[in-house]
A and B are shown apart, each in its own frame.
Chain A
Amino acid sequence: MNARQKAKRLTEILDQCAGDVLRYLQRRVGPDDAADLLGDTMMVAWRRVSDLPDDAEEARMWIFGLARGSLLNHSRGERRRLALSEKIRTHVISARTAPAADEGSEVRDALSHLNPELREIVQLVHWDGFTLAQAAQVVGIPAPTARGRYARAKDGLRVALGVTV
């Protein structure tokens, strides 16, 4: 795939998955910073367009991996206010009308006490809809490691929440 084809492909892939990436980021950092982090993610993707995988599914995972990188580079309270994010920020903030369901607050609290590496796998699977293999790709770890982290996380959550199978 030459540079022009890569650019065309990245345009298509980002158009297809930008909404999912935005929601992924919003679940992690809330409405205030999600749009800016999406802007960061898009900028990094365009700067690294030569690395875009040819396979569509791998390309999608690659973009989520970049989004995760933007998250790791993010510090709470940081307000970058990228101009290109402005309209999306407006959408996200204006949609902030319904609070998260109360029934989930205890679970989110238990998740917040997990080791971040374990928590991320659980969130990718249960909040973002990835398979364990895809979650492993996003985080950049082998699938068996992801399975191990997922099992440990659920063991910890069962104890914390008093849930049995």
Chain B
Amino acid sequence: MNPTDPLDKMLSQSSPRTVPITPGVQRDLEVMNRAAAREVATGTPSRWTARLVVGFGLALALTGTAGAATATGVFAWLPWAENPDMAHAFVLPSGRACEGRIALQHEAASGDWDAFVESMGALQVDPTDIEQIATDIRTEHSVVVVTDDGTIEDRPPGSVPETDDGTYAAANMVAVKMAITRLSATTGVVVSDLQVQCGVVAQ
């Protein structure tokens, strides 16, 4: 800002009038803040936090067994993941149940969130995508490990043996993100957070 520049002065004087923050307004803002915290903590549904669950069919296709998404309540989710926008359940080749939780963000100036939510109900995670991604992961010698405590970690190539579980855990989530990305071209909605956990291996 240049105090001698008449344009700067004009710009600063062009601001629309806004509500004065009186003690009464401040008090109600603080009430609103706590109400928002409570609403999030209790998972009260709002129009833009509808949880969408996909992937049951995929889990069956991969393993031929039921039981995906039964691990909900067992995992230690990050605070945001306690109430995700979307959950993706799948089963690894070893039979370990896994769940990916996703927070979405509408980043584009255009696009329609409601249309996105509607289309998410029919979101298809293509099993051929998963196989292709798994092949790519193996070709690149990327090593993904599903630890005994159920977290998924990248490891340096050659540091540990590659496993089908690690490869498919990574491939599943990349495939979900790809499916969402395809929709994002028209809706502007992108994945902002992603956490995956798999069942803990008994010691």
A-to-B contact residues, CB < 8 Å: 3, 6-7, 10-11, 14-15, 18-19, 22-23, 26-27, 30-31, 38-40, 42-43, 45-51, 69, 72-73, 75, 80, 82, 84-85, 87-88, 91-92, 95, 98-101, 103-105, 107-108, 111, 116, 122, 125-127, 154, 157-158, 161, 163, 165
Q: Does B72 make an interface contact (CB < 8 A)?
A: no
Q: Does B154 make an interface contact (CB < 8 A)?
A: no
With A51-B80, A161-B7 known as contacts, the answer to whether A46 contacts B40 (CB < 8 A) is: yes
Majority SS of interface residues in chain A?
Answer: helix
Q: Are the C-beta atoms of A42 and B32 separated by less than 8 Å?
A: yes
Among A10, A43, A80, A99: residue with most chain B CB under 10 A: A43
- CB neighbours of B33 from chain A (8 A): 11, 14-15, 18, 42
Complex: chain B residue closest to A21, CB-CB? B29
Among A47, A49, A125: residue with most chain B CB under 10 A: A47
- CB neighbours of A69 from chain B (8 A): 105-107
Min CB–CB distance A100 → chain B (angstroms)? 5
Min CB–CB distance A37 → chain B (angstroms)? 12
Min CB–CB distance B19 → chain A (angstroms)? 4
Q: Are the C-beta atoms of A82 and B46 separated by less than 8 Å?
A: yes
Cα A125 to Cα B33 in complex, Å, equals 26
Q: List 10 A-B contacts (CB under 8 A).
A: A11-B33, A38-B32, A40-B48, A47-B40, A49-B79, A72-B108, A82-B46, A100-B17, A122-B11, A127-B15
Min CB–CB distance A105 → chain B (angstroms)? 8
- CB neighbours of A30 from chain B (8 A): 16
